[in-house]
Amino acid sequence: MANYSVRNQVAIISLCSPPVNALSSDVRRGILDSLKKAEQDVKVAAIVICGEGRTFCVGADITEFKSEFKTFPNLFELVDILESSPKPIVAAIHGHAFGGGLEVALACHYRVALSSAKLALPEVKLGILPGAGGTQRLPRLIGIDSSMQWIAFGDEYSAQIAANIGIIDRIFPSNADILESAVQYAQSIIGKSLINRRVSKLPVKDASKVSHIMEKYKQIVGKKSRGAIAPMVCLEAIKHAALLPYVEGMKKERMGIEALMGSDQSKSLIYMFFAERQVRNWTIPGTGINSKNTKPIKVEKVAVIGLGTMGRGIVLSLLKAGIKHVSVMELNKTARENGLLFIKNILEGYAARGTISETQKRSMVDALKPVSNFEMLKDTDLVIEAVFESMSIKKDIFAKLGQVCKPSAVLATNTSALDVDEIAMVTPKPKQVVGMHFFAPAHVMKLLENVRGSKSSPQVIATAMNMGQRMGKVTVLVGNCHGFVGNRMFRHYTVETDFMLEEGAYPEQVDTVLKKFGFAMGRYQVGDLSGNDIGYRMRTKFEMTNKQQPPGAPERERHGVRYCPLADFLVESGRLGYKSDGKGWFRYLGKNRELTVDNEVTSMIDSYRRRNKIVPRKINGEEIIERALYPLINEGFKILEEGIASNPMEIDLILVHGYAWPRHTGGPMFYAHLIGLPKILRVIERHWNNAGLREPHWEPSKMLVRLVKNHGNPDIMSWTTLERETVRSAL
Ligand SMILES: CC/C=C\CC(=O)SCCNC(=O)CCNC(=O)[C@H](O)C(C)(C)COP(=O)(O)OP(=O)(O)OC[C@H]1O[C@@H](n2cnc3c(N)ncnc32)[C@H](O)[C@@H]1OP(=O)(O)O
């Protein structure tokens, strides 16, 4: 709803829909009714629209998208009504003016804001476009170029930046009373002509350059938002602002939003939006323990052990989260010095770019406390171990931590696959131990996969979850198993793509198909970037690599299971990827490290096929997608079945934020839901029937089988409940 009052000739319409004043049908109706009152009241000479509570307005109510066009006034009707008001309207912005909220502001005749306010048209991130005149009004205020930048990427901007380019007319200090300031501002413009204040009537300044600007953004969008439809539709709509009169441009905008709203990509992105919020409410399956009934312990002092790539990133994440005491322990002198230098340089960079102030930078540097022995960690609240991935080294460290740390200290390991329970058992209090699996570089990557050991106490889990949220991470709680959720699922992707190389595909073909699907890089380029030796080291642990096999051992089999040694050959011939002189699955040439196909790799694959009498066959894009992605989805169902993840959203967040799975498909589980579970199962069963135990990753998940058998293609939100009911009724 919207509240209405009048103060000294100024009518105040305040949006009131906690927590973020989304423009639900009630709020839109409230604005319209209040506007009518203000227009009819002869004592009112100007109008202020503001938001109650913490924010101005975050835009359309996403939960009402299905009925957005049905109830009067919808948003695009409302903005035109506002702009045509004969009385001047001032938008008073604090907090956020996002999406439809900014579009309402653009329809007002003046916009004032607190310096702390943030503005954005982020609709593209929901797979739609600003459908309430945003694509037509913004170019008339700030030009085509800036509008494309704002709308096609949906990023937020400070009120000051918005003022610099002409969106905001007056900025007030962040501690000012926004309503009071806006009312005074409104009084100052009473009686002024509105002729140049109706944005839809203004010309687009750089309209003549539209084709050139459009080309520039098409290129950027093509690279940055691979496979996403909405950014291109946004660009098209903005182009129409330059080429058509406002009314015609609005028709095009409307066609754009009608095409996008309800599309699979938009559904996926909205699902992601809610998943990122839902995941804060963690739960331990089957126990009744959850974020609502468990409190974290207070964490003031944190320690990080190990200053390698992971440790450095974790320290930076802690500093950014405002932790005022971060002990860092690295016994290797060179690694310690390099690590500290790296951290300080990054902080310098943040300060130089204005991401943090000089004062903040100084206090972050002051918070760093290098320590040289375990004794010095005795009053630390949380220790995060980030040393080399070796069980014996980690056990050594945890045994020492168990002796010196206070009993309430939370002891976390940043392992990416090792058994958290085994590590915990060397301490006197295994319930204090938890996994905190960061992703490299930890100060950049948004994902934190927290691992609950079988003994981890609820309070310890709550502390790790809370710390992740303080660091601004998408923090997902998972159970303890080899590789946890992400690495466990992703392994099948690499295994199966390598099988396709054996059978007839080439790395460039596989990567092209995966990039078309939406991955920023294909499986083989990723291998080259992160280093093909990482997987090799892992396979070495299980004695699987080519070199470890005795003479005469079958080349394509390990422990009775199908195996492809091509990745081993690559590493054993020194092709680790970017870092080995630009040689990996591909060759990276020149200053820009241009990716090129390398005949040496092609020959290696060809001769391997000949040696093993494999007759290559044509593998099409559909097969590549199914075989690369469906085993991973199958594993996702096994993870749900085992209670390693509590719901599909958690799995999707992990794959999207940690493994660059394209966000606009909603993650593997949502993608499966869009494709339809019966089809997914059919393909999995076909492979399983052909390969059997030689390819165990194709063994269908029992949960998937049960869901399809009992419910066909149930809604993703009901999967875990239906599974629980089925299992319970079978007992
Ligand atoms: C014709 C179509 C025309 C226009 C289309 C649009 O306007 S589409 C909407 C465009 N706006 C957005 O995409 C903004 C989405 N919201 C955000 O990005 C963040 O909420 C924001 C504004 C940065 C604030 O972040 P903060 O961390 O402060 O809050 P949080 O995200 O936790 O949100 C609090 C609760 O509000 C719910 N919510 C937020 N935005 C909306 C929305 N637009 N519609 C409905 N609900 C919204 C959010 O889910 C949180 O709910 P909770 O139950 O507490 O988890």
Q: What is the DSSP string of 376-410?
A: GGTT-SEEEE---S-HHHHHHHHHHHHHHS-TT-E
Side-chain half-sphere CA neighbours of 361 within 13 A: 16
| Choice among 103, 449, 502, 723 that is catalytic | 103
Numbered ranges of CATH 3.90.226.10 in the chain? 2-262
The token pair at 197 is 């204040």
Degrees, nearest 5: CA angle 693-696-698: 110
What homologous superfamily is domain 621-730 in, according to CATH?
Answer: N-(1-d-carboxylethyl)-l-norvaline Dehydrogenase; domain 2 (1.10.1040.10)
* Catalytic residue flag (residue 258): no
| Choice among 39, 52, 68, 123 that is catalytic | 123
Please state, in angstroms and as integers, the Cα–Cα distance from residue 149 to each residue in 124, 135, 163, 538, following that order.
Answer: 12, 12, 16, 43
The token pair at 656 is 């999207």
Distance from the CA of 99 to the center of ligand 1, in angstroms? 9
Decide: 78 in ligand 1 pocket, CB within 6 A: no
Distance from the CA of 284 to the center of ligand 1, in angstroms? 27
Going by alpha carbons, the residue nearest to atom 37 of ligand 1 is 20
Question: Residue 52 gets which letter from DSSP?
Answer: S
Question: Residue 203 gets which letter from DSSP?
Answer: P
Q: How far apart are the first and last CA of the chain?
A: 50
Going by alpha carbons, the residue nearest to atom 38 of ligand 1 is 20
pLDDT the model gives residue 589: 94
Decide: 684 in ligand 1 pocket, CB within 6 A: no
Nearest-atom number in ligand 1 for the CA of 156 is 23
The token pair at 58 is 């975050």
* Catalytic residue flag (residue 389): no
Decide: 281 in ligand 1 pocket, CB within 6 A: no
Decide: 124 in ligand 1 pocket, CB within 6 A: no
Per residue, the 3-state secondary structure of 82-131, as one string, reads HHCCCCCEEEEECCEEECHHHHHHHHCCEEEEECCCEEECHHHHHCCCCC
Nearest-atom number in ligand 1 for the CA of 274 is 49
The token pair at 33 is 């009714």
Distance from the CA of 58 to the center of ligand 1, in angstroms? 6
pLDDT the model gives residue 530: 87
pLDDT the model gives residue 68: 66
The token pair at 725 is 């009911």
Question: What CATH number should be reported for the domain whose range is 2-262?
Answer: 3.90.226.10
Numbered ranges of CATH 1.10.1040.10 in the chain? 505-611, 621-730
Distance from the CA of 218 to the center of ligand 1, in angstroms? 28
Phi/psi of residue 174, nearest 5 degrees: -65, -25
Decide: 61 in ligand 1 pocket, CB within 6 A: yes
Nearest-atom number in ligand 1 for the CA of 273 is 49
Decide: 277 in ligand 1 pocket, CB within 6 A: yes
Helix (H) or strand (E) holding 149: helix 134-153
Distance from the CA of 182 to the center of ligand 1, in angstroms? 24
Which fold would CATH assign to domain 301-482?
Answer: Rossmann fold (3.40.50)
Numbered ranges of CATH 3.40.50.720 in the chain? 301-482
Distance from the CA of 479 to the center of ligand 1, in angstroms? 30
Helix (H, G, I), strand (E, B) or coil at 60: strand
Distance from the CA of 64 to the center of ligand 1, in angstroms? 12
User: CA 434 to CA 431: how far, in whole Å?
Assistant: 8
Contact criterion met (CB below 8 Å) for 329 and 372: yes
User: CA 601 to CA 303: how far, in whole Å?
Assistant: 45
Decide: 96 in ligand 1 pocket, CB within 6 A: yes
Please state, in angstroms and as integers, the Cα–Cα distance from residue 461 to each residue in 322, 509, 596, following that order.
Answer: 21, 43, 46
Contacts of 682 (CB under 8 A, 6+ apart): none
Question: What CATH number should be reported for the domain whose range is 505-611?
Answer: 1.10.1040.10
User: CA 161 to CA 118: how far, in whole Å?
Assistant: 9
- CA 526 vs. chain centroid, Å, equals 18
Nearest-atom number in ligand 1 for the CA of 154 is 13
Decide: 292 in ligand 1 pocket, CB within 6 A: no
Residue of 15, 17, 20, 71 to test ligand 1 pocket, by largest number of atoms within 8 Å of CB: 20
Q: Which amino acid is at 269?
A: L
Going by alpha carbons, the residue nearest to atom 27 of ligand 1 is 277
Decide: 468 in ligand 1 pocket, CB within 6 A: no
Residue 386 burial (CB count, 10 A): 25
Which residues in the chain come in under a pLDDT of 50? none
Residue pointed to by tokens 């009314």: 247
Decide: 99 in ligand 1 pocket, CB within 6 A: yes
Helix (H, G, I), strand (E, B) or coil at 253: helix
Residue pointed to by tokens 């900014």: 102
Contacts of 709 (CB under 8 A, 6+ apart): none
Distance from the CA of 162 to the center of ligand 1, in angstroms? 20
User: CA 76 to CA 131: how far, in whole Å?
Assistant: 7
Decide: 62 in ligand 1 pocket, CB within 6 A: yes
